[in-house]
Amino acid sequence: MSYIGRFAPSPSGPLHFGSLIAALGSYFQAKSQRGQWLVRIEDLDPPREMPGASKLILETLEAYQLHWDGEVVYQSERHDLYQDQINTWLQSGQAYYCQCTRKQIKAAGGFYMATCRDLALTNHDQCSIRLRMNHPIYQFEDKRHHVLTIPTQLADEDFIIKRRDGLFAYNLAVVLDDIDQGITEVVRGADLIEPTGRQISLYKMLNQSPVSYLHLPLALDKNGQKLSKQNHAKAIDNRNPKPALLDAMSFLGFDINEEIRAAAIGEIIQWGVEKWHLSQLPESTEITPMFSNRSV
């Protein structure tokens, strides 16, 4: 089977150092196997979007010479795919409406105890939609980190597939899209280790063979926080990509010599594709990088 990987940014802001790690890691892993590398814009949550971010993200990928295969896919154009699957599950009784608020669940201990599972609620506009969990996943195999464990209560939960505000849930959209796009391996940041359990459960419930997973170490800021748009992580530079590119590649375990430092962006990327191997990746899932040229 030929390799198909992807990079799936959410357009809540421009790419930062953490998202560059995910872009590069997924690109090197795909291209080192002569695979395809697809780009999917995960614009599922309009209130959290930054106007213009999708365009900016694609321009950044171009500036770093990360050329994607095929057309860019936008989740905002795929609501029918998600809704059709939800309808199928509602009809079969696999999915159900739930009126519990986040506050109520938190007050009851933090995990959803299937309170509405058998209530057959009809006040649909005030409800989220949940999926009966009949394939909980407690652990999975990661290409770098070997067996990763999911907390039991989290794995057992009937999780949300459509939110009370009408937005589709991330886990559902990601899995339906990955299946539809023929993705064979998911490479992304270690912040997404926990949802992986639910995503594998979805593959099982959809009778699809699961993909393989590789979680890349997460870059933390100097306060030990994940770099994110919410934490105001600095946007990476489009006009002068080299410093952030070299920092991100060192972070991913490349041993960069003076000759590579002096090379053009396209040559550096090509060198990365040729040299990439999984054992170069740090073993830790979280790292605070220290770089002189301050891409972070």
CB of 252 to ligand GLU, least distance (A): 16
- 7 labeled binding residue: yes
Q: Is 188 in the site for ligand GLU (CB under 6 A)?
A: yes
Q: Which residue's CB is nearer to ligand GLU, number 48 or number 275? A: 48
Tell me how far CA of residue 208 lies from CA of 22, 160, 182, 225, in angstroms.
Answer: 25, 20, 11, 35
Q: Is 9 in the site for ligand GLU (CB under 6 A)?
A: yes
**DSSP secondary structure letter of residue 83:** H
Residues binding ligand GLU: number (CB under 6 A): 7
Q: Which position among 4, 8, 53, 296 is part of the footprint of ligand GLU (CB under 6 A)? A: 8
Q: Is 192 in the site for ligand GLU (CB under 6 A)?
A: yes
CB of 152 to ligand GLU, least distance (A): 23
Q: Is 16 in the site for ligand GLU (CB under 6 A)?
A: no
HSE-up of 131 (CA within 13 Å, CB side)? 27
Q: Which position among 14, 27, 30, 42 is part of the footprint of ligand GLU (CB under 6 A)? A: 42
Tell me how far CA of residue 81 lies from CA of 7, 90, 191, 252, 290, in angstroms.
Answer: 20, 15, 26, 35, 43
Q: Is 158 in the site for ligand GLU (CB under 6 A)?
A: no
What pairs with residue 215 in β-bridges? 188
Element (H, E) at 214: strand 212-216
Candidates 5-13, 114-122, 139-147, 154-162: pick the segment binding ligand GLU (CB under 6 A). 5-13
Candidates 8-16, 51-59, 206-214, 239-247: pick the segment binding ligand GLU (CB under 6 A). 8-16
Q: Is 45 in the site for ligand GLU (CB under 6 A)?
A: no
Closest CA to 216 of 41, 26, 39, 16: 26
Burial category of 113 from C-beta neighbours within 10 Å (exposed 0-12, middle 13-18, buried 19 and up): middle
Per CB under 6 A, contacts with ligand GLU among 222-261 are none
CB of 93 to ligand GLU, least distance (A): 28
Distance CA 284, CA 71 (A): 34
Candidates 4-12, 62-70, 99-107, 277-285: pick the segment binding ligand GLU (CB under 6 A). 4-12
Q: Which two tokens stand for residue 143?
A: 């290409």
Amino acid identity for residue 111 in this structure: F
